[in-house]
């Protein structure tokens, strides 16, 4: 087996300028997200589950971030805390080297360790690379959500755009915490 030429480790604040730049590269494709620009660090950490945020760095240049992955809660409702949505972005120079796959494998492993029971991914139908990546890691396309938002940039600018929902089920925990079973106001 050939060793990987990159290493996966937790993301930290010092990584963020590179994380943001890789995010922007992905957004520039016009097929990664509805949003036009990457968030600030403060916005990022307010939305993501930061103990599940990972970066991949080059072995021969460990300060160079080649990709990242995070998870976010799919809902603010506590009963759904076992369901997370992933985001994965790889530097254009790092694509096609197995980095996205390795990051997604690592995130799935963390979900298993934390007793999460389902993972979601929202993928534009036009984003073949992300669909293939998720399919290769056991995600199944559940369906297409229609007219979710209007694109404000890119080649689909002005169009109300559909998005596919992909799912990967994980083993169910024996006993989800009872304190989660309280209706929210
Ligand atoms: C989509 C993306 C994350 C894939 O990352 P990557 O590191 O290039 O993917 P990998 O090299 O790990 O490939 C993983 C699997 O997906 C497949 N794949 C990846 N990109 C592909 C493409 N463009 N076309 C067909 N298959 C592709 C690979 O063949 C591989 O399959 P295998 O494991 O069965 O061999 C990357 O292209 C990217 O960052 N795109 C821009 C941002 C983006 O769209 N993010 C997702 C938002 S939903």
Rg (the chain; Cα; Å): 17
Domain residues for 94? 6-175
Burial of 183 (0-12, 13-18, 19+ CB in 10 A): exposed
- pLDDT-derived band of residue 180, with 50, 70 and 90 as boundaries? confident
Q: Is the CB of 120 under 6 A from ligand 1?
A: no
- pLDDT-derived band of residue 185, with 50, 70 and 90 as boundaries? low
The answer to whether residue 1 sits within a structural domain is: no
| 59-86 residues labelled b (16+ CB within 10 A) or e (exposed) | eeeeeebbbbbbbebbeeeeeebbbbbb
The answer to whether residue 149 sits within a structural domain is: yes
Model pLDDT for residues 132-145, shown as the tens digit of each residue: 999 999 999 999 99
Q: Is the CB of 22 under 6 A from ligand 1?
A: no
The answer to whether residue 183 sits within a structural domain is: no
The answer to whether residue 181 sits within a structural domain is: no
The answer to whether residue 169 sits within a structural domain is: yes
CA of 89 relative to ligand 1 center, distance in Å: 9
Q: Which of 98, 132, 119 is nearest to 168 (CA)?
A: 119
The answer to whether residue 45 sits within a structural domain is: yes
Model pLDDT for residues 63-74, shown as the tens digit of each residue: 999 999 999 999
CA of 97 relative to ligand 1 center, distance in Å: 9
Is the predicted pLDDT of residue 2 greater than 90, yes or no? no
In the prediction, which pLDDT does 1 show?
43
- pLDDT-derived band of residue 10, with 50, 70 and 90 as boundaries? very high
CA of 92 relative to ligand 1 center, distance in Å: 11
The answer to whether residue 164 sits within a structural domain is: yes
Average confidence score pLDDT of the chain: 95
CA of 136 relative to ligand 1 center, distance in Å: 9
Any idea what the CATH number is for the domain that residue 10 is in? 3.40.630.30
* Spatial contact of 5 and 18, defined as CB atoms under 8 Å apart: no
Counting the structural domains of the chain, the total is 1
Task: For residues 83 and 154, give the distance between their C-alpha atoms in angstroms, rounded to a whole number.
Answer: 31
Model pLDDT for residues 46-60, shown as the tens digit of each residue: 999 999 999 999 999
The answer to whether residue 72 sits within a structural domain is: yes
Q: Once rounded to an integer, what is the mean pLDDT over residues 10-29?
A: 98
Q: Is the CB of 128 under 6 A from ligand 1?
A: yes
Q: Which of 91, 100, 102 is nearest to 2 (CA)?
A: 102
Is the predicted pLDDT of residue 164 greater than 50, yes or no? yes
């Amino acid at each position: 087996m050939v060793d990987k030429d990159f290493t996966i480790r937790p993301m930290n604040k010092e990584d963020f300028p590179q994380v943001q730049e890789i995010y922007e590269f992905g957004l520039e494709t016009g097929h990664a997200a509805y949003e036009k620009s990457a968030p600030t660090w403060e916005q990022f950490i307010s939305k993501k589950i930061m103990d599940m945020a990972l970066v991949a760095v080059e072995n021969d240049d460990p300060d160079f971030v080649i990709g990242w992955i995070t998870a976010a809660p799919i809902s603010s409702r506590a009963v759904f805390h076992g369901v997370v949505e992933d985001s994965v972005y790889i530097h254009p120079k790092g694509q096609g080297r197995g980095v996205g796959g390795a990051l997604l494998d690592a995130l799935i492993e963390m979900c298993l360790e934390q007793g999460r029971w389902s993972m979601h991914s929202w993928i534009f139908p036009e984003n073949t690379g992300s669909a293939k990546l998720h399919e290769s890691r056991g995600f199944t396309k559940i369906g297409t959500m229609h007219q979710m938002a209007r694109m404000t940039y890119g080649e689909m600018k002005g169009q109300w755009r559909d998005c596919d929902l992909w799912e990967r089920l994980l083993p169910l925990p024996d006993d989800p915490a009872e304190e989660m079973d309280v209706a929210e106001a």
